[in-house]
Structure 1
Amino acid sequence: MEAGRKLGLLILAVSQALLCWTGATAQQIDSPVVNTVNGQVRGTIKLATDLPKKPVYTYYAIPYAAPPVGELRLRPPEPAFPWGGVRDGTKLGPFCPQDMALFESSDIPIKLEHEDLSEDCLTINVYSPTLAEDAVLPVLLYVHGGGLMAGMGSHHGFEGLAAHQDVVVVTFNYRLGMLGFLSTGDAHAPGNYGLLDQVQAMVWVRDNIRSFGGDPNKVTLFGESAGGVSISYHYLSPMSKGLFHRGICQSGIWQTMPFQTDPLPVAKSLADELECTTKTTEAMMACLRTKTFEEIIAKSNVLLERLQVEPFVPTMDGKYMKAHPMDLFERGDISKADYIVGVNNHEFGWMLGLAVAGENYGSGMSQEDYSAFVQMVAYGKHQGPNLEKITEAILAEYRDADKPDDPMAIQNQFTQMFGDSMFVAPAVLAAEKHSAAGARVFLYENQYRPSVFPHRPEWAGSDHFDDMLMVSGLPFMEPYDLPEPVSYTEADKTVSREMMAYWANFARTGDPADSTGGPADSPSLPAWPEYTPHNPVYMKLDLVPTTDVGLKSQKIKLWNEIIPSLDIAAKDEL
């Protein structure tokens, strides 16, 4: 997915291949075999469209944990079983159980290679530009998004990122929804299985990645939406300590999604729907382990409709998460690993706005409907006597004095209000807290909108997930077989090169603009200053990246200072 390689790099790539397969046949080179701690696996070779002479050795569906079925369902992951012979790693494995209908309305220019679902889904995929064990390339470990109830590690490839930046990219599936996060609040179902799967994937990387040319001591987590949410939890958990060395949270930290403080009632509600006893948590869990995942997904959707919020999310389990995230956050009891955190400039511009507001979204919004959404958001922050004050504060901050009755202006208030409360304010708070705790922090706002959304309104900016098209190097992949042809512009390719370089530089050096040790033809990038509470600088990622200070500072003050103070004041009065 990127730029032309210099002769020296081509010679290096060829020599590394020869070192690995001296005397191999052409068929063996096309299907390279690698040793893992559990057995051998055969991969295949992928290419970025603009780098036809630089192979990316690709391995799919390598088990990193035992299949979580039967008595292992709704329990922490166990290590993967060994296998004999050579495992076929040339095809994608099944995805973890989820409602695939969630993908039908997406306008993202990606086509899934299959829609196979299975609980035997805890597998990992590796993309590497070399198999030389002494290469010790930086590793970028991708945690996928999807609201913790959908998604997969292989919805698109990462050949472009691996080829252009000489990094090893690893992706994986983890358990979702009820199967990943149901909790009874006791030992019979402590919860957080999806996050524990992610920890197990990090263990696999530590134990195996050198065989794929990667450095187990230079692992950077990166992920978008629920992926970013997950990574923010790993900064808070003692179980993740030492398994990763840097992290990039794109459009999501733990505050983006609700944290479950009382999970048992939700678990019992699902058990009722599935006609399981709730007399004891032990008996309830035994019954839930007998249901098919299709039944579980159907009844989870019933619960989702009723609650209007994802019911199965992380919780305190006493092991992975020992205290409430906000308590850990406030006292700085968090990882000091280098950290990039950021957002797109119109997170609720189109895809999420459409999902929340319904089919009439895009043609304007009434003040009545908007006020109802504001009250809903305010209620999520505070259920006490200051609810009306908080609602009024939000309405006042986002009111457009020049166009108070314009439906499109009101709709824009809706997009900005939701985007700031769910993504921007949490990102800035994370930057502030992690920096204050002693981490090196880099904050960004991505302002680039890819050219491949012909049906998206012009007023929509850089939407949720737009950044992943650029970071993965999608403009340099073979075009997908979609109903409408997709063609990326030169501007798209330039931004993709820059974002891949920023992410890979950070993985290599801890400084997004420092290309030391990177490819000779990597883009030269503007300096990205470190964020501190006293100098809240951030990078505006665009065709020409620039810096600024104080990302939406007035709006952030509302969400991170004014509303919490009103909440605390109300609790003090009780």
Structure 2
Amino acid sequence: MTRDPLRRDVLRTGGVLAGGILLSGLPSSGAASAAPGDDPSSPIAEPAVGRLRGVAEGGVAVFKAVPYAVPPVGALRWRPAQPHPGWAGTRDATAFGSSAPQLYREEGDEVLGHHGSPPFDEDCLTLNVWTPRIDTSKRSVMVWIHGGGFISGSGSLPYYSGETFARNGDLVVVTINYRLGPLGYLYFDEDGAGGNFALTDQLTALRWVRDNIAAFGGDPDNITVAGQSGGAWSVAALAGAGSSEGRPLFRRAILQSPPLGLSVPTRAESLRRTATYLDILGAEDVTELRTMPWQQLVGATVEMFERTSRWGYWSTPFLPVLDGVTLDRNPADLLLRGPGADIEVLIGWTREEANFAFGLSEEYAAATKDQVLARARDTFGGRASEAYTAYQEARPGARPVDVLMDLIGDELFRIPSLTLAERRAARRRPVWAYQFDLPTPAHEGRLAAAHCLELPFVFDNFDQWSGAPFLNGLNPRVRDGVAATMHPSWISFIGTGDPNRRPMPKWERYDQNSRTTMSLDVVTTAASDLAGYWRRLHGPASR
């Protein structure tokens, strides 16, 4: 079987191209129930929506599967999220709820292992809270939005446990589940309600945090929203949402590998993609789709990959839409004007982002120079040969696929992130930049410093990543040393808006003079204009 990134993406995000798809739904848990008495060993929180009984784990209190929105089922499928009305009695919050429906392969994949685990169910709009104590301390808050190419992931994964941040940083941490794939991003232009249903979920969760987090010892006026990949893209998109006073809903943003280079489709473009999806299922319209089981809807993702992929591009079968209701511009622009302009930003990328999708592909390993040059013309036009030579010379012994991967990584992640940093710096808005440079030896080094690799270092919880193949072979001393630098720095930024915390070297804000970018590696150093050559190569003349 050909192992191209399209099929690798399906496998990586849980899809099974042969041997069957696991799409079994299980009922969600955590229903409210009356409690005759409180167990003193179980933490109790009393937010405005209702009383919660959590569990003590790892020295912190955890509240799991807390509903923030009405289940988006039946007539509410493909409708904007509606805030949950709350419950009577004491709700059990000791077990995680269902993850959003998505493709799943039981044996996992060669890079992450798993990025979403059963049970899956449409009744998935829940969040999880970790807090050192239930008191009135007004701790800084981190809300984490998982990535997954808009089709996979879960806020309940052990990868994203808030335990280390809560315990080590005295923070309140929230992770969320939101709709994915066709259930989160199909666009119908129905009743003027817009699209981006996943974005409405995230926004509803964020408002829930603002209104209820004080009951968990958190400060609603000191919230950082952080995310990686599609989650980081979502963080930027949420920056445009303001409170009733016109202020941003959060104070700080951490954008890890945001794919800001995505071309966000217009309504017309999205409707054409929806027509493709309807054709796959043999359905007439959204009314008919609402009668289908979610297993059938999610299963169609496999053929959507087939029909929407393009050679030399990262496959994204479902995308947000510029619907004019929930989103009217590229998310990066929302961090430059309006409520988002006042948000403090930490942004970064990994050095070899695209190796994640292409580095283990047999088909792309056989790519020719002519194929890559043809792809480079999409970006550089008549300067494609010049760009190809530049990328080839930057990596001695580079194969055509290496040039292609570096080009894709720059185009989708690094250059648009640098552009955002440049534009914020020009407006004297606070922004810090980093590049994660530590390569993994897994798969004979073919992944290098790939997309997602920084995540376990940020969370400093390698024990939770034991099933992730891309960490195999890392020297534990090196691994733990880099995490001991990054994790406290993220904690510092969440708490104060400044990532400077020992042992991190002095980390200056990104400005148009020094263009300081922190290189996170075996030896972490502050570099001046780390990617300057590539920033200039991809400048306005390249289009």
Superposed pair shares fold, TM > 0.5? yes
Q: Secondary structure at the match of 1:119?
A: coil
Counterpart pick for 2:126 among 123, 126, 130: 123
The answer to whether the 8 A contact 1:149-1:176 is kept is yes
The answer to whether the 8 A contact 2:233-2:331 is kept is no
* 1:155 Cα deviation after fit: 1.6
Give me the whole-angstrom Cα distance separating, in 2, the residues matched to 1:556 and 1:347: 16
Give me the whole-angstrom Cα distance separating, in 2, the residues matched to 1:330 and 1:337: 9
The answer to whether the 8 A contact 2:441-2:473 is kept is no
1:76 maps to what in 2?
80
The answer to whether the 8 A contact 2:247-2:339 is kept is no
2:175 maps to what in 1?
171
The answer to whether the 8 A contact 2:486-2:504 is kept is no
Does structure 1 residue 367 correspond to structure 2 residue 354?
no
Q: Which amino acid aligns with 1:107?
A: V
The answer to whether the 8 A contact 2:442-2:473 is kept is no
Give structure 1 stretches of 5+ with no counterpart. 1-25, 48-54, 278-283, 382-386, 515-522, 565-574
> 1:8-27 to 2 correspondence within 5 Å?
none
Does structure 1 residue 273 correspond to structure 2 residue 280?
yes
Count residues in correspondence: 495
Question: Kindly tell me: are residues 326 and 88 of structure 1, through their superposed partners in 2, closer, same or farther at Cα, counting changes over 3 Å?
Answer: closer
Q: Secondary structure at the match of 2:444?
A: coil
* 1:334 Cα deviation after fit: 4.7
1:38 maps to what in 2?
49
The answer to whether the 8 A contact 2:505-2:525 is kept is yes
Question: Kindly tell me: are residues 400 and 198 of structure 1, through their superposed partners in 2, closer, same or farther at Cα, counting changes over 3 Å?
Answer: same
2:286 maps to what in 1?
285
Give me the whole-angstrom Cα distance separating, in 2, the residues matched to 1:167 and 1:538: 26
2:328 maps to what in 1?
322
Q: Which amino acid aligns with 1:104?
A: G
* 1:192 Cα deviation after fit: 0.9
Does structure 1 residue 554 correspond to structure 2 residue 530?
no
2:384 maps to what in 1?
391
Question: Kindly tell me: are residues 269 and 344 of structure 1, through their superposed partners in 2, closer, same or farther at Cα, counting changes over 3 Å?
Answer: same
Q: Deviations over 1:75-104 (max 9, x none)?
A: 110011322222221111111011113982
Q: Which amino acid aligns with 1:342?
A: G
* 1:210 Cα deviation after fit: 1.0
Give me the whole-angstrom Cα distance separating, in 2, the residues matched to 1:534 and 1:167: 34
Question: Kindly tell me: are residues 459 and 94 of structure 1, through their superposed partners in 2, closer, same or farther at Cα, counting changes over 3 Å?
Answer: closer
The answer to whether the 8 A contact 1:336-1:434 is kept is no
* 1:335 Cα deviation after fit: 2.5
1:432 maps to what in 2?
422
> 1:141-152 to 2 correspondence within 5 Å?
141-152=143-154
Question: Kindly tell me: are residues 353 and 389 of structure 1, through their superposed partners in 2, closer, same or farther at Cα, counting changes over 3 Å?
Answer: same
Q: Deviations over 1:424-457 (max 9, x none)?
A: 11110111122223420101111234xxx66432
Give me the whole-angstrom Cα distance separating, in 1, the residues matched to 2:89 and 2:475: 42
Q: Deviations over 1:321-365 (max 9, x none)?
A: 13455776788895331101101122123x32246xx2366xx54
Counterpart pick for 2:265 among 260, 264, 269: 260
Question: Kindly tell me: are residues 527 and 141 of structure 1, through their superposed partners in 2, closer, same or farther at Cα, counting changes over 3 Å?
Answer: same
Q: Secondary structure at the match of 1:142?
A: strand
2:231 maps to what in 1?
227
Question: Kindly tell me: are residues 228 and 556 of structure 1, through their superposed partners in 2, closer, same or farther at Cα, counting changes over 3 Å?
Answer: same
Give me the whole-angstrom Cα distance separating, in 2, the residues matched to 1:88 and 1:402: 55
TM-score using structure 2 length:
0.83
Q: Aligned Cα RMSD in Å?
A: 3.0
Give me the whole-angstrom Cα distance separating, in 2, the residues matched to 1:422 and 1:485: 27
The answer to whether the 8 A contact 1:336-1:437 is kept is no
Q: Which amino acid aligns with 1:268?
A: A
Q: Secondary structure at the match of 2:537?
A: helix
The answer to whether the 8 A contact 1:217-1:245 is kept is yes
Does structure 1 residue 471 correspond to structure 2 residue 458?
yes
The answer to whether the 8 A contact 2:257-2:350 is kept is yes
Give me the whole-angstrom Cα distance separating, in 1, the residues matched to 2:394 and 2:97: 54
Q: Secondary structure at the match of 1:36?
A: coil
* 1:488 Cα deviation after fit: 7.2
Question: Kindly tell me: are residues 401 and 151 of structure 1, through their superposed partners in 2, closer, same or farther at Cα, counting changes over 3 Å?
Answer: closer
Which is higher, the Rg of structure 1 or of structure 2? 1
Give me the whole-angstrom Cα distance separating, in 2, the residues matched to 1:102 and 1:429: 39
Does structure 1 residue 215 correspond to structure 2 residue 205?
no
* 1:152 Cα deviation after fit: 0.8
1:87 maps to what in 2?
91
Does structure 1 residue 343 correspond to structure 2 residue 333?
no
Give me the whole-angstrom Cα distance separating, in 2, the residues matched to 1:481 and 1:535: 40
1:353 maps to what in 2?
358
* 1:485 Cα deviation after fit: 9.4
Counterpart pick for 1:414 among 394, 398, 404: 404
Q: Which amino acid aligns with 1:419?
A: G
Q: Which amino acid aligns with 1:44?
A: V
The answer to whether the 8 A contact 1:230-1:254 is kept is no
Give me the whole-angstrom Cα distance separating, in 2, the residues matched to 1:497 and 1:27: 39
2:255 maps to what in 1?
249
Does structure 1 residue 497 correspond to structure 2 residue 500?
no
Give me the whole-angstrom Cα distance separating, in 1, the residues matched to 2:456 and 2:506: 23
2:137 maps to what in 1?
135
The answer to whether the 8 A contact 2:254-2:345 is kept is yes
- Percent sequence identity is 29
1:540 maps to what in 2?
519
Does structure 1 residue 301 correspond to structure 2 residue 302?
yes
Question: Kindly tell me: are residues 206 and 459 of structure 1, through their superposed partners in 2, closer, same or farther at Cα, counting changes over 3 Å?
Answer: same
Q: Which amino acid aligns with 1:65?
A: A
Give me the whole-angstrom Cα distance separating, in 2, the residues matched to 1:551 and 1:486: 27
Q: Which amino acid aligns with 1:127?
A: W
Q: Deviations over 1:54-76 (max 9, x none)?
A: x1111111001110111111111
Q: Which amino acid aligns with 2:156?
A: S
Question: Kindly tell me: are residues 135 and 327 of structure 1, through their superposed partners in 2, closer, same or farther at Cα, counting changes over 3 Å?
Answer: closer
Give me the whole-angstrom Cα distance separating, in 1, the residues matched to 2:254 and 2:206: 15
The answer to whether the 8 A contact 2:458-2:487 is kept is yes
1:442 maps to what in 2?
432
Question: Kindly tell me: are residues 289 and 445 of structure 1, through their superposed partners in 2, closer, same or farther at Cα, counting changes over 3 Å?
Answer: same
* 1:525 Cα deviation after fit: 3.1
Give me the whole-angstrom Cα distance separating, in 2, the residues matched to 1:328 and 1:30: 45
Q: Secondary structure at the match of 2:342?
A: coil
1:195 maps to what in 2?
199
Question: Kindly tell me: are residues 241 and 322 of structure 1, through their superposed partners in 2, closer, same or farther at Cα, counting changes over 3 Å?
Answer: farther
* 1:492 Cα deviation after fit: 2.1
* 1:373 Cα deviation after fit: 4.2
Q: Which amino acid aligns with 1:367?
A: T
Give me the whole-angstrom Cα distance separating, in 2, the residues matched to 1:181 and 1:167: 32
Give me the whole-angstrom Cα distance separating, in 2, the residues matched to 1:496 and 1:110: 22
Q: Secondary structure at the match of 1:170?
A: strand
Q: Deviations over 1:227-257 (max 9, x none)?
A: 11111222345589521110010011432x3
* 1:479 Cα deviation after fit: 7.5
Q: Which amino acid aligns with 1:421?
A: E
Q: Secondary structure at the match of 2:225?
A: strand
Give me the whole-angstrom Cα distance separating, in 2, the residues matched to 1:227 and 1:286: 29
The answer to whether the 8 A contact 2:353-2:451 is kept is yes
Q: Secondary structure at the match of 1:501?
A: helix
Q: Which amino acid aligns with 1:244?
A: F
Question: Kindly tell me: are residues 464 and 485 of structure 1, through their superposed partners in 2, closer, same or farther at Cα, counting changes over 3 Å?
Answer: closer
Give me the whole-angstrom Cα distance separating, in 1, the residues matched to 2:383 and 2:474: 45
Q: Deviations over 1:190-210 (max 9, x none)?
A: 211111111111101101111
Question: Kindly tell me: are residues 204 and 325 of structure 1, through their superposed partners in 2, closer, same or farther at Cα, counting changes over 3 Å?
Answer: closer
Does structure 1 residue 462 correspond to structure 2 residue 425?
no
1:56 maps to what in 2?
60
Give me the whole-angstrom Cα distance separating, in 2, the residues matched to 1:44 and 1:427: 39
Q: Which amino acid aligns with 1:141?
A: V
